[in-house]
Amino acid sequence: MPVLPPSPRIGLALGGGGARGLAHIPVLEALDELGLRPAQIAGTSIGAIMGAAYASGLSGSDIRKMTMEIFADRNSVLSRLWQLRPRRFADMFRPGPVQFDPQRVLEVFIAEYLPERFEDLKIPLRLHATDFYGCQEVDFESGPLLPAIAASIAIPAIFRPVKLNGQILIDGGVVNPLPFDGLRSNCDIVIAVDVVGAPVPRPNREEISMLDSLFGASQILMQAITIQKLKVDQPDILIRPAPDMTRVLDFMKAERIINAAEPLKEAMKEQLETLLKERTPVT
């Protein structure tokens, strides 16, 4: 009787990109439908949320259902947002735009779906944030889960920086928007899902709004980082949703974003099946 080759160890990198990161869901469903489970997951920003949910044992379909339940009803979302209002009178008069506490956002929206610690996850997970004053990447692989996710998603101008372990931390996408590096040493196949996107002209609008300018500049910077990384090393499979006008906070358009990303599922399955056949020794 022939001895079956061991299943390859798959490393999965889920990048940042705000609401565009809901496109990660069909990719996760593709892995489920192939009966494959990553040996390790790395996540940045929205990829940190998706990675944590998947590593906790939720399936891609579970995460789709969870997302649709959270964002299906505008009044329910507004009710949750009301819970995020400033609790102290002084916070209402802070200079600059209103910033949300990212950990509080996670507590209100998704904490019930996640375990408390990395050690409780079913798949090893590495999350990425940025040390604001140290100007360098900070990785989390153990300890309390929610604070690490909060640091990874702390997009400037939307969320307050996170104070953790003596550091001031912001969005991991600032230094590592597509965290596939580091997976190669522990995995046979590395899959990276890049959802950063790029600025897209809006029809019937000549001027660029302040928010579009701000987040578009962020997309350009993150794309520049990823381009340089890909010159040094490349994942075995690189998945990217088609460019569109999805904004970083367009979570109320969750159904449209996920449906538009459906082609990624078959693209992922086709590429991965081909790669597995190429790497399976002939007996």
| Catalytic annotation, residues | 45, 171
Helix axes 46-55, 60-71, angle to 10 degrees: 130
Would you state the structure tokens that stand for residue 191, as one six-digit string? Answer: 């899959």
Beta strand segments in 156-244, E: 162-164, 167-171, 189-193, 237-239
**54 and 28 in contact (C-beta within 8 Å)?**
yes
Q: How far is it, in rounded angstroms, from Cα 92 to Cα 83? A: 14
Q: How far is it, in rounded angstroms, from Cα 107 to Cα 5? A: 43
Q: What are phi and psi of 14, to 5 degrees?
A: -110, 115
**15 and 179 in contact (C-beta within 8 Å)?**
yes
Q: What are phi and psi of 255, to 5 degrees?
A: -60, -45
Long-range contacts: 27-30, Cβ < 8 Å, 24+?
A: 27/60, 27/191, 27/193, 27/239, 27/264, 27/265, 27/268, 28/54, 28/59, 28/60, 28/63, 29/59, 29/60, 29/61, 29/64, 29/265, 30/60, 30/264, 30/265, 30/266, 30/268, 30/269, 30/272
Neighbour tally for 266: CB within 10 Å: 12
| DSSP one-letter code for 203 | T
